Amino acid sequence: MNLNHPVTYIKGISVARAELLFTELGIKTCNDLLHLFPFRYIDKTQFYTINQLQQNSAEVQIVGKITGVKTVKQKRGSRLVATFSDATGTMELVWFKGVKWIKDSLKVNVPYVIYGKLNWYNGIPNMPHPEMETVKEYKSKLQMAMQPVYPSTEKLSTKGISNKVMRTMIQNLFQQAYNEIEETFPAYFIEEHQFLGKKESLLNIHFPKNQELLAKAQYRLKFEELFFIQLQLLQKKLIRKSKLKGFVFEQVGEEFTDFYNNHLPFDLTGAQKRVLKEIRKDVGSGAHMNRLLQGDVGSGKTIVALLTMLLAIDNGYQATIMAPTEILATQHYNGIIELLEKTDIKVELLTGSTKTKKRREIHESLLDGSLHILIGTHAILEEKVQFENLGIAIIDEQHRFGVAQRRKLWEKSSSDGRAIPPHILVMTATPIPRTLAMSVYGDLDISVIDELPPGRKEIKTVHRYDSNRLGVFKFLKDEIAKGRQAYVVYPLIQESEAMDYKDLMDGYESISREFPSPKYQISIVHGQMKPADKDYEMERFAKGDTQIMVATTVIEVGVNVPNASVMVIESAERFGLSQLHQLRGRVGRGAEQSYCILLSSYKLSSDGKTRLQTMVETTDGFKIAEVDLKLRGPGNIMGTQQSGVLNLKIADVVKDSPILHVARKAAINILQEDPNLSEIKNSSLLKAYEKLRKTSGIWSNIS
C-alpha cells in the first residue's frame, strides 16, 4: 500500500468515514492520517490491584476476572452489574446503556484488562462503562502503555468515530503500511543528532512504549518539521544571493551627499548608521536585496528609507514606497516632501482618491523618468503604473499586503521588461520576535533600529482603574495648562460598531462636560466619519487648534503630533498588546516627557492583567512582541494573510524555539557544504525536500 493512497485503503475506513475525516479534519490520504498527531496521552503504564485503589479522580487499569453478572431493574429500564475480582478483592462494573448487547459479550472467568474512572459507594469501588478487552486481545495488539488522544469534533463523535475507533484506524494503517514509511534524514545526520529513525518516531508518537521514547519521537518530528522550513528559507536566500541579479548602486552621489550634509534635520543614531551600512553593502554587491527593517514607532525608519531612495536616484533609478492605508501613505508623502523641499527631487502621491488627470500626469512622468519617487497605496500595483527604471521598492507594514501583491511590485522594474527585479526593503513597526522572524522571514536579511533618536524621552506608562478617572482628568488639565495636547482613545471592536460608537459618544460627552469650551477645544475622529471630516479634525489637532483628540483606533497609524504628550486608553483591557504599543507610540514624539495612561475596569482576565502589566513594565517593542506571541500564538500575530504560513502539525515556534535554533543551525551547515543537496549522502534529504515543496502549502506563502 502506498501512503499517498486515499484512506479508504485502510481496513475499517468506508467511503462515508473517509468523507467525514476529510470534511472534519482535512484528512484525505494515508499519509495525512499518519501525521494526525495525538495532543495528549493517557498513561497506561501502571496496573493496580483492587486493594490499592484510592478515592481520587484518576483513571486506573486493573487485571481480573468477571465472576458473576446480573441485571438490576430500576425506575427506567435496567442496569447491568458485573462482579469483578482479582487476588486482593472484589468490585463492581456497571453499565446503564447497551445492557443487552454488553451482557451477551461478557465472558465469565476469563482474564480481562479493564480501564476507567472509579465511583465509590459505601466505601466500595465501582467502575461505570469501563474500557475492557481480554488479556489475550490486549497482548495481541500494538502495545500502548501510553494511550493517544486524537483531535476530534462533535460531528465525528456523533457519527461513531470515537477516540478508540481513531486509534484502531491508525493501528490498522501501521499494520498495513509500516514498511512504506521512508526515512527522510541521512544516516550520518541521524547518528550526529542521535535521533530515532522515522518509522520508530512515528510509531512512538502514536503508540509510545514509555515516556522516554515519546519524548524522543516528539523531538525528532518537531525538529524535522522546523528543519525543512529552514532549509527552504535558507535555500531561497542562497539562490537570491548567488543567482538573482540586483541593480548595482555603486556611487554615493550628489543627491545623497547634499541631503546628508545640508538638509538632514538631526544627526543619525548609531543604529540608523549601522542599518544604512548594511543596506549600502547589499545594493552595492550586484545581488538582489531583500531586507526586513524593524524598528519601533518613532525610531527613524523613514529617514533610512529616504537615504536609501537617494542612493537609487544617484545611480539613475527610480524609487517607490507602498503603504497599506491612505493615511499612512499621505503621512510618508508629507514628511518626505518637507525633507526634500530644498532639493530638485520630484515626489508624487498615488492613492485611490487621486483624480484621473493627476493619475495621467503621474503615469507619464514615471515612464519618461522625470518622476523620482512615487509614494502610494495598493494603487501603485495597478497595471497602468509602469516605471522607466524602478531600482528600489520599499514596503511599509508589509504583513498587511498579500504575497500576490508583493509579486506585482517585482514586475514593475522597467518599461522595457528587463528581468532584474527592484531591490526590496520591507519596513515594520510591529516588532517581530526573533523566533517568528526566523520562521516567517528566514529568507530575508534582517536589520533592527534599536535606539530612539537623541532627545527622545521614554514614555511613562501607568495603569489606573475606572474609579481613578477624576484624577486622570486633573492630570490632563495640568498638561494642557503647560501647552500640551492629549489623545483619549476608545476601543473599536468590529462586531459591535454601534456599541463602540455609543462608548465613544458617551466618553465625548463626559469629556466635554469636564473640559468645557471655550477654555478647551476638542476634536473627535471615528470610522463612521467621511474622510474629509476626519482629515479636517486631524488637521485641527495637528495645528494645535484643539487640545484633546477623542478617537477610536483610527489614529493607530498616521498622525504625527510632536506636541501631544498624553495618551489615555479607555477600556485598555479590550486591546491587544501590539495595538496598545502602537497607540502609545503616538505620543513621545517631541522633546517633552510623555505619558500613557491605561484605564480599565476591575474585572480583568489573567491575559488582560499580563498585557497591562507588560505595558507598564517595558517600552521595548521586542519584549512586548515576545509576550504577545506567547499570549496569542504565531498565526494571529502575523495577521490573517500570514496565519496559514505556520500551519505546523507538531512543532510550536514559541515553545519549541530551542529546537528551531538547532534545526536552523543544522540546515545552515548542510547548505554550506552542499547548497543543492546533490551529494549522494544527502539523497534522502533531497527526496523529502522535493516532495514537501510539491505538497505543502507553506512554501508559496513565505515572504
Is 31 domain-assigned? no
Confidence band for 400, pLDDT divided at 50, 70 and 90: low
Q: DSSP letter string over 64-80?
A: EEEEEEEEEE-SSSEEE
What is the tens place of the pLDDT at every residue in 601-633? 898 888 899 999 999 999 888 788 878 877 876
Confidence band for 17, pLDDT divided at 50, 70 and 90: very high
Q: Are residues 477 and 567 in the same domain?
A: yes
Q: Are residues 440 and 476 in the same domain?
A: no
| CA torsion through residues 489, 493, 497, 498, sign | negative
Q: Are residues 556 and 676 in the same domain?
A: no
Output the pLDDT for position 440: 66
Is 134 domain-assigned? yes
C-alpha cell recorded at residue 379: 494603487
Question: Range with the lowest mean pLDDT among 8-17, 312-321, 500-509?
Answer: 500-509
Between CA 395 and CA 171 the distance in angstroms is 50
Output the pLDDT for position 579: 84
Residues 129 and 95: beta-carbon distance below 8 Å:
yes
Confidence band for 300, pLDDT divided at 50, 70 and 90: confident
Q: Which residue carries 527613524 as its cell?
A: 300
- Using DSSP's 3-state secondary structure scheme, residue 389 falls into strand
Q: Are residues 118 and 197 in the same domain?
A: no
Confidence band for 697, pLDDT divided at 50, 70 and 90: very low
Q: Mean pLDDT, to the nearest integer, of 139-153?
A: 79
Name the residue range of residue 597's domain: 460-618
* Share of the chain residues as helix, strand and coil, in percent rounded to the nearest 5: 45, 20, 35
Is 23 domain-assigned? no
Half-sphere exposure of 257 (CA within 13 A, CB side): 6
Judged against a pLDDT cut of 90, whether residue 501 lies above it is answered with no
Question: Range with the lowest mean pLDDT among 338-352, 427-441, 647-661?
Answer: 427-441
Output the pLDDT for position 695: 64
Query: Could you tell me which residue, 639 or 553, shows the higher pLDDT?
Result: 553
Q: Are residues 71 and 219 in the same domain?
A: no
CA angle (676, 681, 684) in 5-degree steps = 75
Between CA 331 and CA 678 the distance in angstroms is 50
In terms of Cα–Cα distance, which of 146, 149, 145, 125 is closest to 56?
125
Q: Which letter, b or e, does each residue of 143-160 get, where b requires 16 or more Cβ atoms within 10 Å of its Cβ?
A: ebbbbbebeeeeebeeee
Q: Mean pLDDT, to the nearest integer, of 658-681?
A: 92
Half-sphere exposure of 386 (CA within 13 A, CB side): 11
Is 484 domain-assigned? yes
Query: Could you tell me which residue, 325 or 258, shows the higher pLDDT?
Result: 258
Query: Could you tell me which residue, 502 or 491, shows the higher pLDDT?
Result: 491
Amino acid letter, 12: G
What is the tens place of the pLDDT at every residue in 232-244? 888 888 877 777 7
Judged against a pLDDT cut of 50, whether residue 701 lies above it is answered with no
CA angle (630, 636, 637) in 5-degree steps = 65
Judged against a pLDDT cut of 90, whether residue 272 lies above it is answered with yes
How does strand 78-86 pair with strand 59-73? antiparallel
C-alpha torsion angle, residues 153, 158, 164, 165 (rounded to 10): -100
Output the pLDDT for position 656: 82
Q: Are residues 84 and 208 in the same domain?
A: no
Between CA 536 and CA 392 the distance in angstroms is 34
- Number of domains comprising the chain: 4
Is 158 domain-assigned? no
Is 213 domain-assigned? yes
Q: Are residues 264 and 386 in the same domain?
A: yes
> In angstroms, what CA-CA distances link 73 with 77, 79, 81, 328, 622?
6, 7, 11, 76, 67
How does strand 423-428 pair with strand 290-295? parallel
Judged against a pLDDT cut of 90, whether residue 50 lies above it is answered with yes
Half-sphere exposure of 87 (CA within 13 A, CB side): 1
Judged against a pLDDT cut of 50, whether residue 495 lies above it is answered with no
C-alpha cell recorded at residue 435: 523566533
Question: Range with the lowest mean pLDDT among 194-198, 231-235, 554-558?
Answer: 554-558
Q: Are residues 391 and 299 in the same domain?
A: yes
Output the pLDDT for position 95: 94
Is 639 domain-assigned? no
pTM over the 0.75 mark: no
Question: Range with the lowest mean pLDDT among 2-6, 116-120, 699-703?
Answer: 699-703
Q: Which of 589, 618, 647 is the last residue of a domain?
A: 618
Judged against a pLDDT cut of 60, whether residue 415 lies above it is answered with no
Q: Are residues 468 and 429 in the same domain?
A: no
Q: Which of 449, 468, 496 is the last residue of a domain?
A: 449
Confidence band for 65, pLDDT divided at 50, 70 and 90: very high
CATH number at residue 480: 3.40.50.300
Between CA 403 and CA 420 the distance in angstroms is 19
Q: Which of 591, 618, 645 is the last residue of a domain?
A: 618
Confidence band for 702, pLDDT divided at 50, 70 and 90: very low
Confidence band for 463, pLDDT divided at 50, 70 and 90: very high
Question: Range with the lowest mean pLDDT among 50-59, 74-83, 684-693?
Answer: 50-59
In terms of Cα–Cα distance, which of 381, 432, 423 is closest to 402?
381
Query: Could you tell me which residue, 290 or 417, shows the higher pLDDT?
Result: 290
Output the pLDDT for position 405: 67
In terms of Cα–Cα distance, which of 210, 178, 171, 238 is closest to 45?
210
Average per-residue pLDDT for the chain = 86
Output the pLDDT for position 631: 80
Output the pLDDT for position 446: 85
Q: Which residue carries 493615511 as its cell?
A: 327
Q: Are residues 568 and 483 in the same domain?
A: yes
Output the pLDDT for position 465: 94
DSSP element (H, E) containing 557: none
Output the pLDDT for position 72: 92
Between CA 669 and CA 682 the distance in angstroms is 13
CATH number at residue 119: 2.40.50.140
What is the tens place of the pLDDT at every residue in 623-664? 888 788 778 765 544 443 333 445 678 887 777 888 988 999
Q: Are residues 601 and 464 in the same domain?
A: yes
Is 106 domain-assigned? yes
Residues 6+ apart with CB under 8 A from 41: 146, 147, 148, 149, 208, 214
Q: Are residues 426 and 312 in the same domain?
A: yes
Query: Could you tell me which residue, 668 or 435, shows the higher pLDDT?
Result: 668
